[in-house]
A = this chain, B = another copy of it.
Amino acid sequence: MPFCGPNRYNLSPKEAHLPKRITVRTGDYQELFDITERVASAVRDMHVYDGVCHVFSPHTTAGIIVNENADPDVCADMIARLDELVPVNAGYRHAEGNAHAHIKATLVGQSAYIPIENGRLALGRWQGIFLAEFDGPRERTILVTVVAE
């Protein structure tokens, strides 16, 4: 992860900080899709030394999670438990069959923020950033916004 200081490329703030879009193709109906490297790369491209990185899902059936990305069993446990709490079928009124996905996305949240320190995401040792897909597989687009200090 080569470091690039904020002024190395003489970028104007506008160029540096406009939201960047990350597009991914999820593979399952429900899954946690690791986007840590994609977000880290977007942040590096913005050449921000200190600030805050916001990750936003503009979708209503997919959220954003920051949690362990070391043991994939954690992701499997999380999807399974969410499915116990909000089953795919439970007499919902919403006719499209994905009411559960809207509710799960709300429980985990549509966004996350991570501090940026010394040009890097200040994630904990075991943390990764995930798109939480609850109605896939689909193409999903995530917005990464950086506010520099």
Contact = CB atoms under 8 A, between A and B. Distances in A.
Interface residues of A, number: 60
A103 B124 contact: no
Number of copies: 3
Contacts of A67: 60, 102, 105-106, 110
Interface string A1-32: 00000000000011001110000000000000
A106 B87 CA distance: 18
A18 B117 contact: yes
Interface of A: 13-14, 17-19, 50-52, 54, 56-60, 65-68, 71, 73-74, 76-78, 81-82, 85-86, 90, 92-96, 99, 102-103, 105-115, 117, 122-127, 143, 145, 147-149
